[in-house]
Amino acid sequence: MPIVTVRHFTEEDIPLRTELLREARFTANLTDFAVGAGDDGLIARQHRTITEEHRTKRMFTLCGPRGRVMGFAWITSIDWRAQRCELSFGVLPRDRGLGALAVYAVHKHLRDELNMRVIVNQVLTHNTMFLSAEALEAQHQVRCERDSYTVGEWRTACYWTLSDEDVRKHEASAGQRRRELAERIRARIEARS
């Protein structure tokens, strides 16, 4: 059973996501549109996404053990024909240690349930909540200076795609590493016997 599951975002999730959108670290690392919006406007915007914008934007709720909400993900720039989208997410402060598992769960959900074949990822370079600066530098394919204006500053963003081919290569590589590790362990055990 997976540690993180993904479900559709509902009206009941709006208050908790609103809190996250106003959290200082989230605001500094993704977007500050919530800072200038009143509660009614922010709630209306999320409600509109649920009821009117499914063709171009979808939101999801990330759940941990026993269905406890741990964060949210949303896709934008959806191209249904090309099977592409841009992924964003925010994990609640208490669960940020599980961020990598959340990212994996969302990617799997988008591929398995929505049939997305290419997922565009974006991280602002100063955001090291899930990726270290070194990992981000090694992973990105495009670096865009002055991409986003948040918390009174222009921010640089790194973008990269994750295609079906990339996923297959990663899974094959991970499987090979597991087999090599198992073989080394077997060899050590046999050497001691």
pLDDT at 33: 58
Give the closest residue to 50 by CA, choosing from 7, 89, 84, 86. 7
Instruction: State both tokens at 131.
Output: 């990726």
Mean pLDDT of the chain: 84
Fold exhibited by the domain 5-192: Aminopeptidase (3.40.630)
Measured between alpha carbons, how far is 58 from 148 in angstroms, rounded to an integer? 21
The mean pLDDT of 66-72, rounded to a whole number, is 93
In the chain, pLDDT over 70 holds for what percent of residues? Answer: 88
pLDDT at 72: 94
pLDDT at 84: 94
Q: What's the pTM value of the predicted model, to 2 decimals?
A: 0.77
Contact 96, 128 (CB under 8 A): no
Domains of the chain: which residue ranges? 5-192
**pLDDT tens sequence across 5-64:** 999 999 999 999 988 888 877 776 666 555 566 788 888 888 999 999 988 999 999 999
- Please report which confidence band the pLDDT of residue 141 belongs to, taking 50, 70 and 90 as the band edges: confident
End-to-end CA distance of the chain: 35
Phi, psi of 133 (to 5 degrees): -60, -35
Measured between alpha carbons, how far is 7 from 125 in angstroms, rounded to an integer? 29
Better pLDDT: 69 or 38: 69
Give the closest residue to 73 by CA, choosing from 18, 17, 141. 17
pLDDT at 28: 66
Measured between alpha carbons, how far is 7 from 58 in angstroms, rounded to an integer? 11
